[in-house]
């Protein structure tokens, strides 16, 4: 019985050991899931710090308007059949709208986290020409031009840093906080402006607004004009152009960026003038995000996705070294090596919160490689095999780092790299069974007969 069991173990020990390594690789995904949760928790803390700072500064800003709102009388029948006069509103958008300005990034810190804010200096100018009230089917005597109001929308009024006024046909009028009841904008400021009744058929209104606006994260504009042009400049070197329209021209370098948009009324989904219905102007907004150039939490999560690859290949290298040197590696030793590979990710996330991600990755990879190489010196006799294990692990970490940099070509580079790694492993494992059989025959010849 003992002889049969011993013979079975000698014949199957490679398969059993390989099966144990496969099971251990899968089990190590459990601590990796906890590490992934830790990264998510740290990212939530960073987002909470961002919200805390932006709530005290000003949130993302979307500049909408200006919109000219003019009341008019509307004759309607009530439930008794009597004709009554009610007040309704017509909304007019400018024929031309030009927005020019600069964005000055501001950096604030909350604990170890950095938050990007900005101050902007914007100038809005344009013209309303021939309000064309005939197309709205409102009689000339029903208009109430004395109640005309110019609306300018912005979601966070705390961001306004100057006494806001509008130059309306040469007359300066100051804005008041808040908006009158309307179906266009939710938050913003308003100013009463003089409108000549003759302007419904002829004449025009020019306007100019100088706005100092601060915010956090992003600045967007609504293409309110029949023809809207926006030109922005900033010293921020890594912008992200967002919204429904990309710049018609842009330039980005280490000193900052400049961008120019041109949008026409045919490119958006709301009219130039209307009386009935509500339109979401912000749905066509566009602008720029002052994007953080490096999101180390996202990069760490990408690294964790390759964790099973690093663990499996590292175990494979040790397994091949074990079979070639006839120096068995204890299952506890495999477990310790796997835990060291998991600790790499905790080192990476903790160090990257203080240093650049590339430096953090290099430090964590070097520390993990050195630890496992030193451990291999204690496990395997001589220097050759520990050096092989250390170099293999260093190449593997370098390969994963390159994959993370090649975002557009990560799949192609990863597929080619895995193919080459598999080819190398197949080459070095080609004699495993033959070497094992030769070793078994050698042991039988050396075993004295009973």
Both 240 and 112 in one domain: the answer is yes
Total structural domains within the chain: 2
Q: Distance (Å, rounded) from C-alpha 449 to C-alpha 408?
A: 66
Tell me how far apart the alpha carbons of residues 149 and 316 are, in angstroms, rounded to a whole number: 74
My answer on whether 175 and 227 are in the same domain is: yes
**pLDDT tens for the 450 residues of the chain, in order:** 455 545 544 555 666 777 777 788 788 888 888 888 887 888 788 777 777 777 788 888 889 889 988 888 877 666 666 666 778 888 889 989 999 999 988 887 776 777 788 889 999 999 888 676 667 777 777 778 788 899 999 988 888 888 888 898 888 889 988 888 877 888 889 999 888 776 666 667 889 999 999 888 888 999 988 999 999 999 888 888 888 888 989 898 888 899 999 999 888 888 888 887 778 888 889 999 886 655 777 778 878 887 887 888 888 777 777 776 667 777 788 888 888 888 888 888 888 878 888 888 888 888 888 888 888 887 777 677 778 778 888 888 887 887 776 665 656 665 666 677 667 666 666 665 555 455 554 544 545 554
Q: Is residue 159 part of a domain?
A: yes
In a domain, 51, yes or no: no
Q: Does residue 49 fall inside a structural domain?
A: no
Residue 239 sits in the same domain as residue 111: yes
Per the domain annotation, does 151 fall within a domain?
yes
Using a CB cutoff of 8 Å and minimum separation of 24, what contacts does 198-203 make? Answer: 199/128, 199/130, 199/131, 199/145, 200/130, 200/131, 200/132, 200/133, 200/134, 200/140, 200/143, 201/130, 201/133, 201/134, 202/130, 203/130
- With respect to residue 240, please indicate whether it lies within any of the assigned structural domains: yes
Domain hosting 125: range is: 60-292
Question: Do 190 and 181 contact (CB within 8 A), yes or no?
Answer: no
Long-range contacts of 105-109 (CB under 8 A, 24+ apart): 105/234, 105/235, 105/236, 105/290, 106/214, 108/53, 108/57
Report if residue 55 sits inside a domain: no
Within a domain: 220: yes
Residue owning tokens 């192609």: 412
CATH number of domain containing 201: 2.60.40
d(CA 105, CA 405): 26
Instruction: Clarify whether residues 198 and 179 are in a common domain.
Output: yes
């Amino acid at each position: 019985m003992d002889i049969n069991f011993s013979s079975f173990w000698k014949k199957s020990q490679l398969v059993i050991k390989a099966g144990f390594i496969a099971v251990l690789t899968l089990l190590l995904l459990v601590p990796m899931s906890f590490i992934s949760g830790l990264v998510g928790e740290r990212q939530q803390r960073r987002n909470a710090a961002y919200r805390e700072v932006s709530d005290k500064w000003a949130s993302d800003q979307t500049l909408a308007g200006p919109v000219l709102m003019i009341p008019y009388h509307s004759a309607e029948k009530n439930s008794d059949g009597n004709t009554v006069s009610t007040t309704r509103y017509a909304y007019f958008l400018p024929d031309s709208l030009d927005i020019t300005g600069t964005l000055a990034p501001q950096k604030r810190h909350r604990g170890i986290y950095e938050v990007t804010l900005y101050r902007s200096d914007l100038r809005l100018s344009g013209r309303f020409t021939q309000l064309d009230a005939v197309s709205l089917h409102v009689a000339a005597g029903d208009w109430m031009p004395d109640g005309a109001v110019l609306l300018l929308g912005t979601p966070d009024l705390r961001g306004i840093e100057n006494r806001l006024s509008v130059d309306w046909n040469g007359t300066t009028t100051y804005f008041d906080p808040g908006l009158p009841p309307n179906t266009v904008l939710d938050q913003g400021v308003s100013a009463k402006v003089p409108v000549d009744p003759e302007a419904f058929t002829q004449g025009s209104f020019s306007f100019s607004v100088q706005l100092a606006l601060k915010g956090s994260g992003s600045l967007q504009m609504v293409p309110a004009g029949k023809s809207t042009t926006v030109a922005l400049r900033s010293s921020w070197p890594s912008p992200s152009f967002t919204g429904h329209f990309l710049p018609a021209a842009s330039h980005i370098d280490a000193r900052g960026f400049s961008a120019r948009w041109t949008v026409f009324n045919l490119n958006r989904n709301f009219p130039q003038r209307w009386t009935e219905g509500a339109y979401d102007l912000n749905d066509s907004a566009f602008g720029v995000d002052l994007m953080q150039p490096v999101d180390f939490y996202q990069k760490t999560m990408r690294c964790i996705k390759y964790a099973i690859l690093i663990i499996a290949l590292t175990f494979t290298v040790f397994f091949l070294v074990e079979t070639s040197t006839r120096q068995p590696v204890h299952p506890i030793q495999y477990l310790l090596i796997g835990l060291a590979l998991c600790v790499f990710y905790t080192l990476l996330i903790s160090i990257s919160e203080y240093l650049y991600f590339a430096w953090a990755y290099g430090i964590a990879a070097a520390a993990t490689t050195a630890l496992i190489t030193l451990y291999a010196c204690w496990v395997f006799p001589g220097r050759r095999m520990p050096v092989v294990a250390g170099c293999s692990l260093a190449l593997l970490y370098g390969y994963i780092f390159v994959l993370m940099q090649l975002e557009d070509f990560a799949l192609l580079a990863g597929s080619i790299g895995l193919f080459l790694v598999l080819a190398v492993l197949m080459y070095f494992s080609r004699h495993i069974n033959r070497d094992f059989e030769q070793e078994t025959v050698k042991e039988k010849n050396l075993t004295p007969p009973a």
